[in-house]
Amino acid sequence: MTRPLPLLAGLLGVVFLALAALYWLTPAGSLPSFLPGFEAGSAHVHSRHALGSLIVAIALFAFAWFQREPQRR
């Protein structure tokens, strides 16, 4: 049986990784308005938001990795 916490951390890691890519590749004016950093008409790329999301994604992946069940031999 799989444990739900590592699975949830892994899924959230994927979400934050996608969010980091969105922040890195999309100008602030083209971001969805519900995301922090949206500025209408701006061509600025939020690289700090992208870096923060990437760090959170890596931390979530590490948490999921270390909380997984050990392999039985």
CB contact at 8 A, 49 and 36: yes
Please tell me what DSSP assigns to residue 68.
S
User: Could you read off the pLDDT of 15-71 as tens digits, one per residue?
Assistant: 999 999 999 998 888 888 888 877 787 777 888 999 999 999 999 999 999 987 777
- In the chain, the N- to C-terminal Cα span, in Å, equals 16
> For position 1, what pLDDT does the model report?
42
> For position 37, what pLDDT does the model report?
78
Show the DSSP H helices in the chain as ranges.
4-25, 47-67
The domain ranges of the chain are: 4-31+40-67
Q: Which residues contact 65 (CB under 8 A, 6 or more apart)?
A: 6
Q: Please state the pTM of the whole predicted model.
A: 0.83
> For position 13, what pLDDT does the model report?
97
